[in-house]
Amino acid sequence: MTDDLPAFLRVRLDEDAGVARRCGEAGFAAEWTAHEAAVDFGQGDTGGFPTMIALHVALHDPARALREVEAERRVLDRHTLSPAEEDPERPWGERDDCRFDGDLWPCDDLLDLALPYQEHPDFPERHRPNRGP
């Protein structure tokens, strides 16, 4: 079993962090606030948003995005592959499992981290969620 899913996730998290950092480099504030139909990006209010859209945009400011990336990286680091050891003393010795929780690799936590990226063209096909009813 390869670690293609963790590698895919690391690249996506790096991309997310890069976008958030570039907002600051472009002169925008790290923390955004909503004022009814306007969002304050640190360069004055930008209006014209429906109130709920303004709140949503402000809720996903670069500072929060970077905190989320860091949290997801820590979860990803905990849920590493524990390759099958062919140990007859272990009932699961012939299957790959998650070193953190012992669940079958990739564990549900790792699959959950990947879920927001399932539409990305590089998403590992074998880990794509079942789209059944």
Q: What is the pLDDT of residues 72-101, one digit of tens each?
A: 999 999 998 888 776 666 655 567 888 898
Distance of CA 93 to the CA centre of its chain: 30
Whether 38 maps to a domain, the answer reads yes
Whether 133 maps to a domain, the answer reads no
Q: Is the pTM of this model over 0.85?
A: no
Whole-number percent of the chain with pLDDT over 90: 40
Bond preceding residue 121 cis, omega within 30 of 0: no
Whether 58 maps to a domain, the answer reads yes
Mean of per-residue pLDDT scores for the chain: 84
Whether 105 maps to a domain, the answer reads yes
**Cα–Cα distance for residue pair 120/95, rounded to 1 Å:** 28
Whether 124 maps to a domain, the answer reads no
- 46 pLDDT higher than 80: no
Quote the domain boundaries for residue 25.
Answer: 4-119
